[in-house]
Structure 1
């Protein structure tokens, strides 16, 4: 079955280019387009795509706000922000609302197919430049806090749970894979979040990306 894609960008030439690029792949099907954030929200609700490829800077409603509304309506949709903005504040805001992929437009031709197939499986995907930026910031914060590696304070089982959660697995999925109860997984999840000072799934993913546990 083909992966259903919605393209959202306020520039018609960009939408056309993305459609031509994606339609080269038989495993993908572009089922709709949107020219602004509001239209993206409405179209996503109507067509229920598996993946939305969306610009950050769009009129009427920006991409990050649109992503938040789309995911509130249907959390099963995976969203990739395709943008020229590599600033970490954009990345963090996108992660906070539940975006799974963040890809620079300059990398689209090379990485977009892989990004789509990765987020469609519930896993995160970031442009190499974005990952490097996040890693640099992570190292800076560690130095400020006088730490060497917070990963070392986790137990082996907490590290397993961390990676599986960052890969998009639910507590139930993790419980089955590790042959433990969902209650035990939730306990490990709570402990690791306290140790790492992270507060939600988006921050778990960000930490894992910074550590190179997921790509």
Structure 2
């Protein structure tokens, strides 16, 4: 049995969605809400498997509700029910940790499959805008593959990194390159930022580990 809460400030829309959901014996609507604050309170109280939430609601919008659920680490999976086909809105919604995005114009056709898909742990996007999810996943994959590397450094920064790998201090590097100590420190900070390094010894460890590549 899939437990679900339906939240929409439009009574007719809420009634229509409930009617579709109630046609399936696997789904149990345990509560409904007409504004965002009521929806959040009900989700916290009941922790349903799925919460079907309108993006635009009074008192608290759907995105705010989803963020709160994420902060509270509740197990309820969010499906946004919306009229927005805009890609930016879609990405903003999915950034909140939502599992589904169903267009109101296709709710009658999509809602049952969407609820069952999300309840099983998968994502569901209305087919009309499914390309948004593909683009989103591809962008995420490209970002993961695009790891910072030594090739992102300037020639001067690579020289500094090579000397760090040799175990030299900032003052020794400054003396050898005839530049100021402050300039060396600036280079070190810039190198760390470019390589996403943090911590007192992380730059030294990276330099030693990649000495042959510099």
Name which one, 1 or 2, has greater alpha-carbon Rg. Answer: 2
The CA RMSD over aligned residues, in Å, is: 2.4
Q: Does the 8 Å CA contact 2:20/2:112 hold for their aligned counterparts? A: no
Structure 1 partner of 2:54: 55
Q: Does the 8 Å CA contact 2:55/2:61 hold for their aligned counterparts? A: yes
Q: Does the 8 Å CA contact 1:8/1:53 hold for their aligned counterparts? A: yes
Q: Does the 8 Å CA contact 1:6/1:31 hold for their aligned counterparts? A: yes
Q: Given the two structures, how large is their TM-score scaled by the length of structure 1?
A: 0.62
Residues 61/122 of structure 1: CA separation in 2 closer, same or farther (3 Å cut): same
Structure 2 partner of 1:118: 117
Q: Which of 145, 155, 160 is 1:195 aligned to? A: 145
Gaps of 5+ in 1: 142-149, 152-191, 198-215
Gaps of 5+ in 2: 148-214
Residues 91/10 of structure 1: CA separation in 2 closer, same or farther (3 Å cut): same
Matched position secondary structure for 1:97: coil
- Are 2:25 and 1:10 equivalent residues in the alignment? no
Quote how far apart the aligned CAs of 1:14 are.
1.3
Q: Given the two structures, how large is their TM-score scaled by the length of structure 2?
A: 0.63
In structure 2, C-alpha distance between the alignment counterparts of 1:45 and 1:137, rounded to whole Å? 29
In structure 2, C-alpha distance between the alignment counterparts of 1:93 and 1:75, rounded to whole Å? 20
In structure 1, C-alpha distance between the alignment counterparts of 2:67 and 2:133, rounded to whole Å? 22
In structure 2, C-alpha distance between the alignment counterparts of 1:122 and 1:136, rounded to whole Å? 20
May I ask how many residue pairs the two structures share in their alignment?
A: 147
